[in-house]
């Protein structure tokens, strides 16, 4: 007898953002029924605001899995999660998946601390959960270095990064959403660990702004944690798309840049 196929109804918070939209695309390509939560109206979007709680109860109603991709860079990460957790508990959601960052318990950056606080909130919520930490996205690293590449000399910190493509992280999150709760999942990192100098060189070559790069030792507790590799996961290089491949894709897609500079 053929086993009954049960549709897994999945809610993705922040589902119109960079990561969330990639997760939604992955899940829908796999045939999953997906509900997208966003503060902004759009096609196939359920409107809800995790800051105020408006619309969240109805958004989580009847779903089997929530993938929490919505984030806040201004210290309210745990507030958003608390609103979601309360609604998910009321609706008895069987599985909450949360994406965090490698090193949130080692790097004393405000945003990282908020992510770590959110991890602890979810772990103590009583909900079945999976927490996935990932390294920095390609796009973030590129943005940080692209601005500096406009200067005659590019100063970079003496630290390394392990950038990962958002599509690779989406692939992992989609797989976790279709599986049983795993608690704290193994870290997920990019395929390469590169110095800031190497990354800046790659950005300069891709944009046509080849500059002299000057590595600097940056003082402070946060940069010391970065220099010690607190944000890296050398044993986990499951990401497939390299930083240079990501940059080449952007150039091939016609991203404008001025090679005269």
pLDDT of residue 204: 87
H or E element in which residue 26 lies: helix 18-29
Q: What's the structural domain count of the chain?
A: 1
Beta bridge partners of 164: 137
- The verdict on residue 4 lying in a domain is no
CATH of the domain at 95: 3.40.50.720
- The verdict on residue 93 lying in a domain is yes
- The verdict on residue 129 lying in a domain is yes
Q: Of 65, 83, 62, 173, which is closest to residue 128 (Cα–Cα)?
A: 65
Contact between 84 and 66 under an 8 Å Cβ cutoff? The reply is: yes
Residue pLDDT, tens place only, 188-241: 999 999 999 999 999 988 888 777 899 999 999 999 999 999 999 999 999 999
Alpha helices in 67-220 (DSSP H): 77-90, 110-123, 138-148, 166-177, 196-207
- The verdict on residue 261 lying in a domain is no
Measured between alpha carbons, how far is residue 23 from residues 63, 126, 201 in Å?
16, 25, 30
Q: How far is CA 15 from the centre of its chain?
A: 12
Residue burial 174-196, b: 16+ Cβ < 10 Å; e: rest: bebbbeebeeebebbbbbbbbbb
One DSSP character per residue, 28-55 reads HHTT-EEEEEESS--TTEEE--TTT-TT
Low-confidence ranges of the chain (pLDDT < 50): 1-7, 257-261
Structure tokens that stand for 204 in this block: 């300069």
- Residue 236 CA to residue 155 CA, distance in Å, equals 29
Domain that holds residue 204: 9-252
Query: Quick count: other Cβ atoms within 10 Å of Cβ 74?
Result: 8
- Residue 111 CA to residue 155 CA, distance in Å, equals 24
pLDDT of residue 231: 97
pLDDT of residue 1: 40
Query: In terms of DSSP bridges, do strands 160-161 and 194-195 run parallel, antiparallel, or are they unpaired?
Result: antiparallel
pLDDT of residue 170: 98
- The verdict on residue 2 lying in a domain is no
Contact between 101 and 68 under an 8 Å Cβ cutoff? The reply is: no
């Amino acid at each position: 007898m053929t086993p009954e196929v049960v549709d897994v109804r999945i809610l993705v918070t922040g589902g119109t953002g960079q990561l969330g939209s990639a997760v939604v695309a992955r899940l829908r390509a796999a045939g999953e029924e997906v509900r997208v939560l966003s503060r902004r109206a759009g096609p196939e979007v359920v409107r809800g605001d995790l800051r105020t709680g408006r619309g969240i109860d109805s958004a989580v109603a009847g779903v089997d899995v929530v993938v929490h991709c919505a984030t806040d860079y201004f210290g309210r990460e745990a507030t958003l999660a608390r609103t979601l957790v309360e609604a998910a508990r009321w609706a008895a959601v069987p599985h909450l998946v949360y994406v965090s960052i490698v090193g949130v318990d080692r790097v004393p950056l405000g945003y990282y601390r908020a992510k770590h606080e959110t991890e602890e909130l979810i772990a103590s919520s009583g909900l079945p959960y999976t927490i996935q930490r990932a390294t920095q996205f390609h796009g973030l690293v590129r943005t940080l270095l692209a601005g500096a590449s406009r200067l005659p000399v590019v100063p970079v910190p003496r630290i390394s990064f392990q950038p990962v493509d958002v599509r690779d992280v989406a692939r992992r999150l989609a797989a976790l959403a279709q599986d049983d709760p795993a608690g704290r999942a193994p870290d997920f990192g990019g395929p390469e660990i590169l110095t800031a100098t190497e990354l800046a060189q790659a950005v300069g070559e891709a944009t046509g702004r080849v500059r002299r790069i000057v590595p600097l030792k940056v003082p402070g507790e946060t940069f010391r944690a970065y220099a010690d590799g607190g944000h890296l996961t050398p044993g986990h290089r499951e990401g497939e798309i390299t930083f240079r491949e990501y940059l080449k894709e952007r150039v091939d897609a016609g991203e404008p840049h001025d090679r005269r500079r």
